[in-house]
Amino acid sequence: MILKKSEIPTSEITPKQAYMNRRAFMAAAAATGVAAIAGERVSRMVRPAGVEAAEKLTVVNSPLSTTGVEVTPYEDITHYNNFYEFGVDKGDPAKNAGTLRTRPWSVKVEGLVKEPKTFDIDTLLKLKPMEERVYRFRCVEAWSMVIPWAGYSLSEFINACEPLPSAKYVQFLSLADSKQEPEIYNAHLNWPYSEGLRMDEAMHPLTLLTFGLYGEVLPNQDGAPVRVIVPWKYGFKSAKSIVKVKFVKSQPSTTWNDMAPQEYGFYSNVNPNVDHPRWSQKTERRIGFPIWKQRQPTLMFNGYGDQVAQLYAGMDLKKNY
């Protein structure tokens, strides 16, 4: 049976401008002195009507990118968010995050380091070449996306921070400013938002210091201007709008583990065999798919087990959830 255009779900229609014009991009790159790199990616973004274009990023293909998966549409990625500083409903961040000022922006480095440092956002953007990495993104609320993030391995930033051998964990602290984040005190959490990783997790090549998605700088509601993405963990481990990084000897305090330790463990690796106390983690709902394709089985370590399982060898993953 041949479907008429009106009978095809909009989620399955490839938009006309799904890819930017590569020739125009390369010409612009040459005009700004950026060398044409073999494998250089061009944004595949399809921008909803009325949304102003953001700053473009020059990104290259990454061998760490997940293949064989359908990327979530830009509109879903930017309009279905958890960012409680801008509201607790999924649509609130897109409506409210315009008050966030991402310039000037700096990230302070403290704790067990050779010496404290401060990096401004433009220095971070130029620290290493930017890669596009398509990663699965899994929320503990049992929904998921596939997102083309832009950034470079967090290990590159950590090396620039020069941590001491005694540093066993790294803690990330997000902006907490009620003038810029109008809903921050309506979400009854401990602020600033805090997350942390064991050092070997932070140094793993998959862990991404992230500045953009779909070839452009991060929208405010997605954690601008700099965040972390840890693709084998639930999304709340990926701290947004980072203003401070601390290297510490002991496991740091983290927001959700402090607020509800029975629901949110420190490690928070995606594990379909450990249910959230209020719902199952065995399946997930893929945002942006037609309804009959949304429900999918949850993969151990979000599908990255071959790369990261060795980090947890000998650990009880039901106890260390």
pLDDT at 49 over 70: no
Q: What is the pLDDT of residues 168-214, one digit of tens each?
A: 999 999 999 999 999 999 988 999 999 999 999 999 999 999 999 99
For residue 303, tell me if it sits in a domain.
yes
CATH of the domain at 295: 3.90.420.10
123 in a structural domain:
yes
User: Of residues 2 and 274, which shows the higher confidence score?
Assistant: 274
pLDDT score at 233:
98
> 90 pLDDT exceeds 80?
yes
Asked if the structure places residue 18 within a domain, the reply is no
SS (H, E, C) the chain: CCCCHHHCCHHHCCCCCCCCCHHHHHHHHHHCCCCCCCCEECCCCCCCCCCCCCCECCEEECCCCCCCCCCCCHHHHHHCCCCHHHCCCCCHHHHHHHHCCCCCCEEEEEECECCCEEEEHHHHHHHCCEEEEEEEEECCCCEEEEEEEEEEEHHHHHHHHCECCCCCEEEEEECCCCCCCCCHHHCCCCCCCEEEEEHHHHCCCCCEEEEEECCEECCHHHCCCCEEECCCEEHHHCCCCEEEEEEECCCCCCHHHHHCCCCCCCCCECCCCCCECCECCCEEEECCCCHHHHEEECCHHHHCHHHHHHHHCCCCCCCCC
Q: What is the pLDDT of residue 54?
A: 74
Domain that holds residue 89: 60-312
Structural domain contains residue 280: yes
Given this model, what pLDDT does residue 264 score?
95
- Provide the number of structural domains found in the chain: 1
Domain presence at residue 319:
no
The pLDDT of residue 72 is above 60: yes
Q: Tell whether the model's pLDDT for residue 258 goes beyond 50.
A: yes
Q: Look at residue 252 and tell me whether its pLDDT is greater than 90.
A: yes
In a domain, 32, yes or no: no
pLDDT value at residue 73: 98
Q: Is residue 26 part of a domain?
A: no
Name the residue with higher pLDDT: 13 or 172: 172
Instruction: State yes or no: pLDDT of 2 exceeds 50.
Output: no
What pTM did the predictor assign? 0.85
| Rounded average pLDDT over 146-175 | 98
The stretch 158-174 carries a mean pLDDT of 98
Q: Which residue has the higher pLDDT, 50 or 203?
A: 203
pLDDT at 135 (0 to 100): 98
Average confidence (pLDDT) over 290-313: 97
Domain contains 138: yes
